[in-house]
Amino acid sequence: MDYQAVIEEVAAHARPYAGQGQVADYIPALERVSADRFGIAVADIDGKVYGAGDWEVPFSVQSISKTFSLALVMAQGHSSHSGDDEIWRRVGREPSGTPFNSLVQLEAENGIPRNPFINAGALVVTDRLLTLTGDASTALLHFLREESGNPDLAFDQAVADSEADHGDRNAALAHFMASFGNLENPVPSVIEHYFWQCSIEMSCRDLAVAGGFLARHGLRADGSRLLEAREAKRINAVMLTCGTYDAAGEFAYRVGLPAKSGVGGGIVAVVPGRCTLCVWSPGLDARGNSVAGAAALDHFTTLTGWSVF
């Protein structure tokens, strides 16, 4: 596979879509990012990276961080001897069919979020990581620095502050779950760590490399094992069914890969056994997914014939 040639063809196909959609204007710090940016990177399972466009420009990872937080919770479960089943007693694995910040299902389902990739579910995962590590956001940042090979990764103070200033819905979700006994730590601490995690800035290159353990069936960049193969399989499965908000069915239909999107305009996708991709373009569709990013991944799987189907 000539990755570079494929990536350049994909970029040429997707670039006209850049600028379509709307940036995430409900987070003021994200509203200032130009919608017409576009980047794409691919990291193969040996760590070789190929890119095109704005693939080395850092952006706010937002909900993409949820995949890595979940992986850390499952990995930490080994060392604490609690196993990965602990988190699945508190979070479901089903698509939500509702917006990522919806309160509706929590009432009917006794404070158990439908999956770990909607905001309510991610707050529970953050809460669990906080219990396991004592500092959820720093644990995540250190892990991402190690896996990406980029020691300069950092939180974006302006984004974190912006989210905190406009985080009433997330606070409501957390308080509601706490009322059902589904949080172990104080609500303000959980929310603070959640916002810091979402504020991390990474490039397409950083994210493609950092997500490589999902393509390597749980093996980290240094060859050590983060997750058992069955656990990596399970994370990929939940990414496929729940990773692109309430558009996961349409995304699976178009792209056919496990993926996790964020309202910063990034999407990380996994081809198990082959490579990990990251695309970035800030213009979002009505479901919160990058318009140009989805078009790029659609074209990538069409060109290569690589999907999980």
What is the C-alpha separation between 146 and 138, in angstroms, rounded?
12
The sheet with strand 275-280 has its strands ordered as 49-53, 39-44, 275-280, 266-271, 259-261
DSSP 3-state of 139 = helix
135: amino acid identity, one letter: D
Which entry of 3, 17, 50, 245 is annotated as an active-site residue? 245
Question: Is 63 one of the annotated active-site residues of the chain?
Answer: yes
From residue 138, give the alpha-carbon distance in Å to each of 194, 202, 287: 11, 15, 29
Contact 202, 143 (CB under 8 A): no
Phi, psi of 296 (to 5 degrees): -65, -45
Two tokens at 119? Answer: 């905001």
Question: Is 3 one of the annotated active-site residues of the chain?
Answer: no
Question: Is 194 one of the annotated active-site residues of the chain?
Answer: yes
Which entry of 6, 187, 263, 279 is annotated as an active-site residue? 263
What is the DSSP code (8-state) at residue 38? Answer: -
Two tokens at 34? Answer: 């130009």
Contact 130, 193 (CB under 8 A): yes
The count of C-alpha atoms lying within 13 angstroms of the C-alpha of 202, restricted to the half-sphere facing its C-beta, is 37
Which entry of 66, 102, 137, 148 is annotated as an active-site residue? 66
Question: Is 48 one of the annotated active-site residues of the chain?
Answer: no
54: amino acid identity, one letter: D
What is the DSSP code (8-state) at residue 284? Answer: B
Which entry of 194, 268, 270, 281 is annotated as an active-site residue? 194
Which entry of 63, 69, 137, 148 is annotated as an active-site residue? 63
Question: Is 260 one of the annotated active-site residues of the chain?
Answer: no
Instruction: Please enumerate, by residue number, every residue annotated as part of a binding site for substrate.
Output: 63, 119, 163, 170, 194, 245, 263
149: amino acid identity, one letter: G
What is the C-alpha separation between 162 and 37, in angstroms, rounded?
22
What is the C-alpha separation between 112 and 178, in angstroms, rounded?
10
Instruction: Please enumerate, by residue number, every residue annotated as part of a binding site.
Output: 63, 119, 163, 170, 194, 245, 263
Residue 40: strand pairing partners: 52, 279
Which residues carry out catalysis? 63, 66, 194, 245, 263
